[in-house]
Chain A
């Protein structure tokens, strides 16, 4: 028996066994939603709802500018001091008041984008947010940035999980596909 005939088949067989038994998909998806603009939150929600539809345990950890889309659309002013209030005035929260990261043109850009989306039957961020909740996407706001930016739990929409910190986010991200958007 030559060395070749001894070595080759077992390796190939082992490879095949690994390929067959090893799950091909990662079962978790964790997205860090750092940006609050329409063109960033939109893909975040598209990926999250799709991940959930693929059977992945999906989590979005909302932090910094990513928190503002979670503000209830009817809440106009947030914050406890003038700096936080000014922030909410200049950067209105709510998933129906999102700005584009480029070509915003004082709101004309987003209006045109929403018009195009309707025409192409693309679900809006608001609709996707509802779908994400329905599909069981874990939506976790970051406690520290909520405090920093002056956002209270009651300013934010229903259906979110308890605000948490970086440790919870990283623990959830263990072994998951992670995206930072």
Chain B
């Protein structure tokens, strides 16, 4: 079974707080249970995404790194 991503965000080159703000906005448009992926280059976004997921209750599915690009997958929380 492959993972279906409902929305993909390119946040490369953006600095704090833009990656999180754009992610929060995009997440609003997803239905519960849908997945959002984001690509970022700001190293600070790694702890920021984890903290955002934890405090908003949207589960963190995956985090990986390829070169200078960080890849995050988040799941919109079920209500």
Contact of B23 among A53, A121, A135 (CB under 8 A): A53
Interface of B is mostly: helix
Distance, CA A162 to CA B23, complexed state (A): 30
Indicate if the CB atoms of B56 and A120 lie closer than 8 Å. no
Indicate if the CB atoms of B55 and A53 lie closer than 8 Å. no
The verdict on B18 contacting chain A, using a C-beta distance below 8 Å, is yes
Interface size on B, residues (CB 8 A): 15
Contact of B56 among A54, A131, A135 (CB under 8 A): A54
The verdict on A112 contacting chain B, using a C-beta distance below 8 Å, is no
The verdict on A78 contacting chain B, using a C-beta distance below 8 Å, is no
The verdict on A144 contacting chain B, using a C-beta distance below 8 Å, is no
Indicate if the CB atoms of A53 and B13 lie closer than 8 Å. no
Distance, CA A152 to CA B46, complexed state (A): 43
Indicate if the CB atoms of B20 and A50 lie closer than 8 Å. yes
The verdict on B67 contacting chain A, using a C-beta distance below 8 Å, is no
Q: Chain A contact residues (Cβ within 8 angstroms of B): what range?
A: 10 to 19
The verdict on A63 contacting chain B, using a C-beta distance below 8 Å, is no
The verdict on A77 contacting chain B, using a C-beta distance below 8 Å, is no
The verdict on B47 contacting chain A, using a C-beta distance below 8 Å, is no
Name the interface residues of A54-74: CB closer than 8 Å to any CB of B.
54-55
> Of all chain A residues, which has the CB nearest B48?
A50
Q: Do A131 and B15 form a contact, CB below 8 Å, given A24-B55, A54-B56, A55-B56?
A: no
Task: Sample 18 A-B pairs with CB under 8 A, ordered by A number.
Answer: A24-B54, A49-B17, A53-B20, A53-B52, A54-B52, A54-B55, A55-B24, A55-B56, A120-B15, A121-B13, A121-B15, A122-B15, A122-B18, A123-B15, A123-B17, A131-B21, A135-B21, A135-B25
